[in-house]
Amino acid sequence: MFIRRIVKQNNVLISEDFDGTLLDSPKIVMLFSKIPPSFCTVLRAASTSSPARGPNVKTFEIYRYDPEKPEQKPFLQKYDVDLTQCGTMVLDALIKIKNEMDPTLTFRRSCREGICGSCAMNIGGENTLACICNINKDTKYSTKIYPLPHMYVVKDLVPDMTLFYEQYASVQPWLQKNRPTELGKIENFQSQAERDKLDGLYECILCACCSTSCPSYWWNSDKYLGPAALLQSYRWIVDSRDDKAKERLARLTDPFSVFKCHTILNCTKTCPKHLNPAKAIGEIKKLLTGIDTKPEPKQASNKNICSVRAVKDAQQLEGESKIVEEKRRCWGNQNGEEKARWYSEGEQIESGTFVYECRDTKVVPVGCLDESGRQIGLKEIFVSKGLLMQCSLSRWGSEVQLKTIGCVLEGKQNKSVVPVGKNWAEKESQTWWECAVEGTAVRARLGGCLDLETLSRLRIGESIDRGRTTFECQSKGADVVKMVAVGCVSSGGEHQRIGQQWQDGDFLFYCKRTAAGACEKSCVGCVLQGRRLYDGDRLQQKRTVFQCEIRPKRHALSPVACVSESGVERVIDCKWNDQSKDGTYRLKRHCVLREGRADIDTLGCVFEKDGVSRLTLKAGTFTIWREAMNISPLGVSCRRALVDGDEWPLLETFSASEVADRTNGLTEDIDPRI
């Protein structure tokens, strides 16, 4: 069982799959292709507080992932549950853990009866529904629970089902008729035998257990529809009341939609409703390859309606058929008839989409049939499936053929013809199409996406920058494309994929998708001296200590402290006494903010006597200090001097008689600070 997520290696984002039983053996499987569920690189195990061990205490190891904590890697968290105080199903244990042990545990649930399919997850290595999965009573072994394999994880055991539901919608799971009918007026008849064909198909609850157990779906989920969607597609293809089986099959003719199924039967084995998606896929393959065809529906009859006129009409037709001149009959067979027979003069014969008529023993081409069954005369032009068609004779004149002479816009008249090789845009669906030649046929082919802002036409896989977001044209099914945000554009014009981190100046940014469907860069850290700093981290550069501050609407690399010569860190505006360079006296120092950096100012000299600070002098001043009235006064000066090439305050003391000689250029401070 594998869990998929995005990791970074050598500055490249890649998707990794991890075997849940071998957590230390990652396998790199494919390049980044979609929104990453996390930035993790390995799984780690953790445990929670648990009740005292007893004979009925069962350990559950549950996959945990919180997108709001990108720095925390996914891990398996252990919970011990007393089975004597818990229900018999795995869902009962999960609810007990959430209610009594860990309210942050996240999973989906609803019916608790195996009907809604919302609690699908991987339990003990198998995809199943937690509400109908019995707890293994053997307490010697723990039960490991993961989200559905190879699905992008929203949180804990909740997978992202967006792509799965889009694939289901692409098969158009509703009844479709050739002719519009008014609801409640006409019943769609169906025989009991035709109804029995739907058993084992309509019961699917869309839990995704089968699709996420299929290796082909793991590696090709963007192209292969998967067992669940194909099971529902076959449910409508085989329904005798549905008239669009050919159109449904036509949407599945590419190499990936159906034929990526290799019939390993994982889907059938794991289905919690005991359905057989593999058999349904096999039946679709038979229909696509022509091995089998959908039978015509049986015509419902009402035995109570039988008129004398109908009987007479039948007798009259029978009589007329007997008197047809045998020499003018034609021999052939029509659609739906297994054996050839004689056709009367003037009787028409349908062969595929062509119409012939018996004329004087010869079968002569007279027209074609459009998709609604309407007969088209020779050389007549009509619109069919977005193409301008002409019913014409072949080169030798003995056969009829449908010739494509151009493409027309949906809903337009014949005059709105698009020449072969040209293209047109459809703003409503944000797509553009081209009238293209494929082999010997011409058809309207989906070209790609239409960017509404710039009206640029992009093919599948091409991208365009819109503001600070890179959008890519991606295929979402047969003839369905969508512009998807896949990355950010940095201030330097560089492209970054979703989930990628990059440096821009002194800051570290991360590209993420917004709720509006665009992308934006979010600051997650700072860069200083080649080191990455996150919110609250600090780093010294020369004499300044910088701190990384990340806030929702701003980010900054702010100076917050100075580092003195002794290596002590001082916050901004801090004042302290420090030793002079020669260590003979102390200086008054001050940490100040100057030009975006923290700097240390020397305010003056500190005069000490008997180990006690007596006074502080500013640089360039002196004073007369007297310890006591009966003691001779002492001169104290703080002079600016060069020490080892740097200007440094120098403390000097002298007798009062030397004041005149020792204070030249100094200013007297008559009230020095203590």
Question: Looking at the domain assignment, is residue 502 inside a domain?
Answer: no
More reliable by pLDDT, 350 or 9: 350
pLDDT at 8 exceeding the cut of 50: no
3-state secondary structure of 588: strand
Residues 6+ apart with CB under 8 A from 530: none
Residue 2: pLDDT band (50, 70, 90) is: very low
Question: Looking at the domain assignment, is residue 118 inside a domain?
Answer: yes
pLDDT at 439 exceeding the cut of 80: no
Contacts of residues 353-357 at CB distance under 8 Å and 24 or more positions apart, as own/partner, are: 353/402, 354/399, 354/400, 354/401, 355/400, 356/332, 356/400
Contact by Cβ (8 Å): 59, 65: no
Question: Looking at the domain assignment, is residue 431 inside a domain?
Answer: no
- Confidence (pLDDT) at 410: 59
- How many distinct structural domains can be found in the chain? 4
pLDDT at 147 exceeding the cut of 90: yes
Q: Which of 47-61, 285-299, 303-317 has the lowest mean pLDDT?
A: 303-317
Same domain, 279 and 177: yes
- Confidence (pLDDT) at 319: 55
The whole-angstrom separation of Cα 171 and Cα 232 is: 8
Q: What is the pTM of this model?
A: 0.42
The predicted-structure confidence for 491-504, as pLDDT tens digits, reads as follows 878 888 888 888 88
pLDDT at 64 exceeding the cut of 90: yes
Of 395, 418, 441, the residue that ends a domain is 418
Of 367, 394, 418, the residue that ends a domain is 418
Same domain, 155 and 180: no
Question: Looking at the domain assignment, is residue 247 inside a domain?
Answer: yes
pLDDT at 188 exceeding the cut of 60: yes
- Confidence (pLDDT) at 337: 64
What type of residue is 314? A
Q: Which of 207, 360, 320 is nearest to 271 (CA)?
A: 207
Contact by Cβ (8 Å): 501, 13: no
In order of 107, 149, 302, 545, the CA distances from 3 in angstroms are: 16, 5, 58, 42
Of 160, 194, 219, the residue that ends a domain is 160
Range of the domain at 131: 43-160
Residues 6+ apart with CB under 8 A from 285: 258, 259, 261, 291
Please give the average per-residue pLDDT across 581-589, as a whole number: 80
Residue 22: pLDDT band (50, 70, 90) is: very low
The whole-angstrom separation of Cα 391 and Cα 655 is: 126
- Confidence (pLDDT) at 327: 61
Q: Is 436 exposed, middle or buried (0-12, 13-18, 19+ CB in 10 A)?
A: middle
Contact by Cβ (8 Å): 599, 592: yes
The predicted-structure confidence for 482-541, as pLDDT tens digits, reads as follows 888 888 988 878 888 888 888 888 888 889 888 888 888 888 889 888 888 888 888 888
Bridge partner list, 563: 569
Same domain, 261 and 340: no
Q: Which of 563, 565, 591 is nearest to 576 (CA)?
A: 591
Residue 77: pLDDT band (50, 70, 90) is: very high
**Residue 522 token pair:** 């979010």
What type of residue is 230? L
pLDDT at 153 exceeding the cut of 90: yes
Question: Looking at the domain assignment, is residue 232 inside a domain?
Answer: yes
Tell me 207's DSSP state. Answer: -
Question: Looking at the domain assignment, is residue 32 inside a domain?
Answer: no
Same domain, 379 and 331: yes
Same domain, 154 and 185: no
- Confidence (pLDDT) at 23: 37
- Confidence (pLDDT) at 326: 60
pLDDT at 183 exceeding the cut of 80: no
Same domain, 124 and 192: no
Q: In 467-585, where do the E strands start and end?
A: 469-475, 481-489, 495-497, 501-504, 507-513, 519-528, 531-533, 538-541, 544-550, 555-563, 569-571, 575-579
- Confidence (pLDDT) at 129: 97
pLDDT at 412 exceeding the cut of 50: no
In order of 173, 297, 311, the CA distances from 193 in angstroms are: 22, 11, 29
Contact by Cβ (8 Å): 73, 42: yes
**Average pLDDT of the chain, as a whole number:** 82
Same domain, 331 and 245: no
- Confidence (pLDDT) at 624: 84
Question: Looking at the domain assignment, is residue 439 inside a domain?
Answer: no
- Confidence (pLDDT) at 134: 96
CATH of the domain at 231: 1.10.1060.10
More reliable by pLDDT, 394 or 221: 221
